[in-house]
Structure 1
């Protein structure tokens, strides 16, 4: 029982981190109706900015307070991601208003390569370390209930709590604020949104800024766990099955999809791995996404699209 609970908790915490990255895909899709292939590059760019600012700021200002350095670095990285959102809207999206979805899709691919190149040009291409004080020691829970307790990694627990808080905040933002409703209106129909006075450019800057902030938080967490390196952008590939499973237009779907894939990966690796030769964690999410595409293409919580001709 202890082993099963450890696997479940580990899967749930990994799933929350997948959901955090998947949020970037959902946010952009809800505001522009296009799948954002640049989200992985945004995670890497934001993590590079955070790692390098946390080094440069203490050296420049001449102090050793780690908490203050991390706070200033986080603020600076947030400003950078807002600036990236403004540049993307000003020089790319503004010229593609009311274009076909494939045009915007190709634009996000170009943005991804641009961010990869510019990020490494500005911040370097070495492996960098992010230390924001998240405890990494393991701990035991439910020792009174189960013999020996349940082993939990503190870093995964703190990271999943941060991800959960951000997911809840973004869900409330979309459902309860006028800006969130404007974002949904823009996603439904650009021309109709403009006709009722919704400023499309400002809305796109806002949503790319929010997606950039989500990428920054995800980059800090994954950078703390894995180190900041080029392969960090590939972590976002694991979020693709999450959005397919949960639905491209659903923030709650990103949460549920991430949790299902996180738990499914852990349990399948443990209980099916010995029979199938291991390595299930690598491909499990994509097989599950393929199954959903065959049975329910819109995902668990996605909206069914019906075209009338």
Structure 2
């Protein structure tokens, strides 16, 4: 029979776990940008974090210039679409069928360009992004569990976007074309799939995902250049879920989010604290050793 002290801890346990799960949905949102590009090109998009930062900076900058928030969001969406077209025409079009390492190096160049370009236009100071949502915690489940209201709203928005993208990849012609392009650029071209259009679409959708992630994380942490480092949090999520799986990004984000919060609260005090920052990477390392393709990734078998 459980003691009263242990029973008293259960609401706190669920409070920590729910907070971690809500943070995990936010991690999944960032990871989705990587999955989109990887499914279309087979390349890890190093620039996704910079796209999150650039979209958030553009949104806040346009709003500070006097545009209403709703109009600033629409204008930023147009900017991200123009950015996708520019990336395809200036960078990707000349790299069709090149080695993946070359495309990866190209995304590194895009990342540094966006960081510098954003700083040149909008400045480097921390900017506040206020969407009018409450940032205060509130009690739920009969007053037993304390949850931040903004985390609930952000997780709901991220969840809707995640589900929409999962349906997009599974049931649309463009989604199937993206998978074909990722498998073989030349084969996709030979069957009439317009590679340049596909890349514009996928980078535009990745830009929309980056904008939503930038809005959510910018509202939570402030729009600052450390937002680009949030992309590093998506790496363990991708390793756990698999680089090509939208459901994997969701499940991986939930595991990482809940795992790191629970570990920090319940395990860290036993070993001196401070494990939240590296717990996710240790878990990812374990997956790399025992299941490198992730939970939902396809196992790669090379025959000689």
The TM-score bracket by the shorter chain reads over 0.9
Asked if residue 177 in structure 1 is aligned to residue 186 in structure 2, the reply is no
Structure 2 match to 1:43 = 52
| Cα-to-partner distance string for 1:235-256 (whole Å, 9 max, x where unaligned) | 1100011001100000000000
Asked if residue 89 in structure 1 is aligned to residue 100 in structure 2, the reply is no
Q: Quick check: 1:269–1:279 contact (8 Å CA) kept in 2?
A: yes
Structure 1 match to 2:14 = 5
Secondary structure of 2:65 counterpart: helix
Structure 2 match to 1:196 = 191
Secondary structure of 1:298 counterpart: coil
Secondary structure of 1:139 counterpart: strand
Distance of 1:214 and 1:28 partners within structure 2: 11
| Cα-to-partner distance string for 1:107-143 (whole Å, 9 max, x where unaligned) | 1111100110011111111111111122212111111
| Cα-to-partner distance string for 1:218-247 (whole Å, 9 max, x where unaligned) | 000000000001111011100011001100
Task: Spell out the pairing of 1:21-32 with structure 2 (5 A cutoff).
Answer: 21-32=30-41
Distance of 1:136 and 1:275 partners within structure 2: 31
Structure 2 match to 1:168 = 163
Q: Quick check: 1:57–1:73 contact (8 Å CA) kept in 2?
A: no
Structure 2 match to 1:299 = 294
Asked if residue 222 in structure 1 is aligned to residue 227 in structure 2, the reply is no
Q: Where does structure 1 differ by over 3 angstroms across 4 or more consecutive aligned residues?
A: none
Distance of 1:191 and 1:182 partners within structure 2: 13
Distance of 1:76 and 1:306 partners within structure 2: 45
Aligned residues: 295
Structure 1 match to 2:4 = none
Deviation at 1:57, TM superposition (A): 3.1
Secondary structure of 1:57 counterpart: coil
Deviation at 1:104, TM superposition (A): 0.6
Asked if residue 231 in structure 1 is aligned to residue 226 in structure 2, the reply is yes
Asked if residue 243 in structure 1 is aligned to residue 243 in structure 2, the reply is no
TM-score (norm 1): 0.94
Q: Quick check: 1:39–1:215 contact (8 Å CA) kept in 2?
A: yes
5+ residue gaps, structure 2, are 1-9
Distance of 2:69 and 2:173 partners within structure 1: 32
Structure 2 match to 1:259 = 254
Distance of 2:49 and 2:173 partners within structure 1: 28
Deviation at 1:158, TM superposition (A): 0.3
Distance of 1:206 and 1:124 partners within structure 2: 29
Asked if residue 14 in structure 1 is aligned to residue 23 in structure 2, the reply is yes
Structure 1 match to 2:110 = 111
Q: Match for 1:33 among 32, 42, 46?
A: 42
Distance of 2:126 and 2:42 partners within structure 1: 35
Deviation at 1:307, TM superposition (A): 2.0
Distance of 1:78 and 1:104 partners within structure 2: 25
